[in-house]
Structures are given as C-alpha cells and as structure tokens.
Amino acid sequence: MYNEWSLDILYKGLEDKKYKEDKKRLNKLINEIKSFSETLKEGKDEEKLLLTTIDYMEQFEVLKSTLYSYLSLRESVNTSDSKIVNELNILVKQLSEISKPFAIMKKWIAGIEAIDDYMDKHPKLKAYSFMINDIKQDAKHLLSDDVEDVIARLNISAGSAWSNMQSYLTSVLEVEYRGDMITIPQVRNLAYSEDPTVRKDAYYAELKAYENVKDAVSYSLNNIKTQVNTIADLRGYESPLDQTLEGSYMKRETLEAMLEAMGEYMPVFHKYLKHKAKLLGHKNGLPWYDLFAPMGESESKFTVVQARDYLIKHFKGFSDDLADMVEQAFEEEWIDFFPRKGKVGGAFCSNMPYVKQSRVLTNFSGTLSDIVTLAHELGHAYHGLNIQEHLPLNTDYSMPVAETASNFNESLIMEAVIKEASGIEKMALIESQLQDTTQIMCDIYSRYLFETEVFEKSKQGFLFPDELNEIMLRAQKTAYGDGLDHEYLHPYMWVVKPHYYSEEISFYNFPYAFGGLFARGLYEKYKNEGEEFVPKYKALLNATTVSTVEDAAREAEINLEEPSFWRTSLKAFEDLVDEFIKLS
C-alpha cells in the first residue's frame, strides 16, 4: 500500500485482452483515417465530412492517449524493461503513420471558407472553435503532405531516439558514493542531507559520474537542437522560441513583461543566497552543494501516510474538491513514490482525462521538499480535474499555464505551515520555500539562457561537452550572480535535465518561472478576495485548454502583459527573504 501506482484502469498487462484489442483497433483506425483523408479533396458534402473528420480525430486521440500513457508510464518506472520499451517503440512508429493524413485533414479544415457557419450550426464544432482557429494558424507553418510524413518517420530514428538515449543513460547510470553504487536520483537527494560532508561528497560523486556519459549525451543534445532548428526554419518560424511561444498560445509581450520584472528582483534572491552562505560559513557566496542545505530545526521527515494527511488537512481549507481528489489519489494508487534502479529521476504528473484520473511519479524520501513536490504534482492532477469534462480534443493545456495549479498548491501548503510555525522552525520553513523559489528564478533563468545559446551555437557546429559546460557555467554565473561561489557550480546540469531533450517541446524552462510567479500572483489575489476567488480560479484552469494564456488569466481579472502583475508576485517573495534574514 502507498508504494507503487496501479495502471489497471488502463490495462492489466501486455497480455490483457483489452490491450491487445486496442492495439488492433488503433491499427484499423489509422488505416481508416488514411483512406478517409484521401477522399477529402473530392468530397462534396463538406459539412458532413467536417463532422466525420472531427469524429476520427476524437477517436484517435482517446485510443492513442490510452495506449501511450500506459506504455510510457510503465517505462518511466523501469527503463530496463525491454518488452515495454519495444512495445513503446512499435507504438511510436505506428503513430508516425498518422502525420500525413492528419496534415491533410488539418489543411483541409483550414481551407473551409464556411467554417464559421458550421461552428454556429453544430455545438460540438462550436466547442472546438479555439482548436479550429489554431489549426488555421498552424496551417501557415505546415509543409507539404509528403514532407510532413517524412519528418514524422525520420524522427523515430532521430530526435525521438536521441531523447530516449539520454533518458536511458541517466536512469541506469550508477554513482560511486563512499564505496557504494547508488542511482542518480539517490545521490541528488543527498543534497538535502543535514550533514555538510554528505552534501559535498555527493556533489563531487555526481559530477564524476557524468564523466561516463557526457560524450554520448552531448550527441543527444546536439542532434535534437539541430533538428529543431532545421524544422523551425523550414516551417517559417523566426526561431525555436517563437515556435514555442506560438505553440504555447502566449505573446512575446507576456514573456518580456515577466523577464523584466524578474530582472528587477534578481538581486533579492542573490541577497538570500549570500545570507545563507554566511550562515553556513562561506565567504564567497554559496557553493552549489549547499544550495539545498536545510536550515534550522524543523522536523521535516514524513511517512507517506503522514504526507497524505498533511496535504488533505491544508487543502481542505481552500476547496473540498481539491482535498477529495488528493485522498482519492492516495487511496486509488495514483502515485509511484520511491526511487529504485531503472526508474527515472525527478517527478511528474500525467493527466488521463479519458479515464478521469492522473498518475504521479516522485522519488520520495520523506523531506519537506518531498511534501511540496507531492503538492506540486497533485496540483497538475487538480488541473486535470478541472478540464476533464472538456471534449477529447480540448484537454491539452500549453506549457506556461501547465505549472499554474501545481505552484498554486505549493503556495497553499507553504503559507499554511509557515503561519503555524514560530522561531527557528518558521525560519526553516521560509528558507525551504525560498530554496524552491530561487530555483524558478535563478535556476530556470540559467536554463533559459543556456538553451538560447545552445540553439544559436548549434547552427554553426557541434558543441562538445567542454563547450556545453562553459555555456552552462556562464548561464549560471549570470543568473545566480554573486549569490553563488563561482568555484563550485554545476557544469553538467545539461546532462541530467530531461527538459532539454525533446524534439517536440523547446524552452521547457521559462514556463516554470511563469507558473511559479503566476501562481503566486493568483495566491495574493486569493488572500485579498477570499472565497470569491475560488470560482474564478477554477474558471481560469478550465479555460487554459480552450483559450490563450492571456485570455485565461482574464478569467481572474489579470493582465499578464504588464510587469505590474509580476511585481506583485515578486514583492511577496521579497518579503519572505527579509523575514528569513530577520529570523536567522
């Protein structure tokens, strides 16, 4: 109980009759869609064909998502399971066959002159108006049907394969630590140890381990970024960042407003880091290995059962449906808790609206940070709860708003426990929150700088590990300023972070800053408005899959294109820094 997740709601195994039937049905459906797409150009009943097209897209989305969720979730907890890896590779190859017919269907939809009339006539089409308008916009960047087909097919042995290699190498990589062999997640968890010698030894052990995979992983990074650059250029985007922003339904003005406010407040976080360094006896800023050093005397160890009760207690004060969902997640085995060999590091949540559930992966060790991580990932699940009644093609939200509910949950938890604490314990809790906030400010900004430079330099040639290390160190020095000791940074952060290794999603870094600051701004509004805010918040979450980032924010009466909103969030964190310094 309370150890590993159950995927039985999807399938009970590869021999499950339903799994085998769904595999066959997917193959049949793909062939049907292929044949159907070829009839569109000659089709006479445009209205009927449009409704049939949407129906096929819905069927495919549900079936594909069910199969892919099952296999990818199985792989994430055991990357060495050859049967699952093989099944997933077969599925990915099979799914690539749909790219050409889908490109044909979307181009056809984009060219329908009477589309607005059809949307007015049919409620289902009206519900898909945002998606249909998005298809019109995307059509401007689509290449020929044959080229789209080739890109999808080649990606199996290109970007997707390079991504899988990085994931595999880092998940099975063993670290020699004090005579024992442990996993990367285990050695990274030691950064939270109360023993300074443990933290320092773990830091050096981790960096040494990456020497064994740096060359191979550098090939993954170079080839993925080259592929993204090439395809973005072919599609007519000015840059991968512009492609990301358009795909995120977010204006550049919003990103610039956020970055402007972050730049103004970055010295506040440098001040926090320097003060923590002073408390730990360092003179030249904080060394990387002490970034997560616990401060104070907080009793921050939790069992899984205690974590459940803790979260439910504090979420109930905000909304009963959030607390009820958290209880359901624990009782119905939505969560895979503990690190083990072959399991990927970090944490994530996978929404499964087609079965009205989610699955959460963590590498739980019982610290307060793990409680916050659980709250964060269950925030994603709550986001899923608020969009699960949408139609099947209206259940994807963009990267920036993807971190909203998760970070709002963090604010709820941390604010509640800080209010209950006093003295040294309160100081420790505030410092824990500042650790996390510094990550979304300084660390995320360093990742944004790193990825920006890698995209640019990969256009000129191959970036070997030493140059990638230099780019990473330069980004960290800029983002952390004099808050860190520049003799002890983390040059191999590019090896371990999976966010760089997607051929489909680039710049999966600024959305974390967006989510954290957006959520904190929402929380400040909640503190001012009380219960009146809750329905606005739910409406905002519900709108994230069917509107732009800016329009979703307007559900809570927020203008994201002005730095003033972001300053409100950052001012709240500045107050925490001042309180931490005063208490310590």
Q: What digits encode the pLDDT tens for the residues 257-285? A: 999 999 999 999 999 999 999 999 999 99
d(CA 74, CA 66): 12
* Pairing, β 335-336 against β 357-361: parallel
pLDDT score for 345? 85
Check the CA dihedral 177-183-188-191 and report its sign: negative
Q: Give the H/E segment covering residue 160.
A: helix 159-172
* Pairing, β 357-361 against β 348-352: antiparallel
Q: Give me the helices (H) in 458-532, please.
A: 465-480, 493-496, 510-529
Q: Give the H/E segment covering residue 357.
A: strand 357-361
CATH class of the 17-157 domain in this structure: mainly alpha
Residue 329 backbone dihedrals phi, psi, to 5 degrees: -60, -40
Instruction: Give this prediction's pTM.
Output: 0.82
pLDDT in tens, 2-54: 689 999 999 999 999 999 999 999 999 999 999 999 999 887 899 999 999 99
Tens-binned pLDDT, residue by residue, of the chain (584 aa): 568 999 999 999 999 999 999 999 999 999 999 999 999 988 789 999 999 999 999 999 999 999 999 999 999 999 999 999 999 999 999 998 998 899 899 999 999 999 999 999 999 999 999 999 999 988 888 888 788 888 888 888 899 999 999 999 998 999 999 999 999 989 999 998 999 999 999 999 999 999 999 999 999 999 999 999 999 999 999 999 999 999 999 999 999 999 999 999 999 999 999 999 999 999 999 999 999 998 876 666 889 999 999 999 999 989 999 999 999 999 999 999 999 989 988 899 999 999 999 999 999 988 877 888 999 999 999 999 999 999 999 999 988 998 899 989 989 998 887 887 888 888 888 998 899 899 989 999 999 999 999 999 999 999 999 999 999 999 999 999 999 999 999 999 999 999 999 998 999 999 989 998 999 999 999 999 999 999 999 999 999 999 999 999 999 999 999 999 999 999 999 999 999 999 88
Closest CA to 121 of 52, 53, 55, 51: 51
Amino acid at 454: V
**Helix 423-438 and helix 368-387, axial crossing angle in degrees, nearest 10:** 60
Amino acid at 488: Y
**Helix 240-247 and helix 252-279, axial crossing angle in degrees, nearest 10:** 100
Amino acid at 255: L
d(CA 572, CA 37): 53
The backbone region for 502, taken as left when phi is positive above 0, alpha when psi lies in -120 to 50, beta otherwise, is beta
**Helix 510-529 and helix 444-457, axial crossing angle in degrees, nearest 10:** 150
The backbone region for 437, taken as left when phi is positive above 0, alpha when psi lies in -120 to 50, beta otherwise, is alpha
Angle at 292 between CA 290 and CA 294, to 5 degrees: 95
Residue 356 backbone dihedrals phi, psi, to 5 degrees: 55, 40
Q: DSSP states of 512-575 as a string?
A: HHHHHHHHHHHHHHHHHHGGGHHHHHHHHHHHTTSS-HHHHHHTTT--TTSHHHHHHHHHHHHH
Q: Coil, helix or strand for 174?
A: strand
pLDDT score for 415? 87
Q: Where are the domains of the chain?
A: 17-157
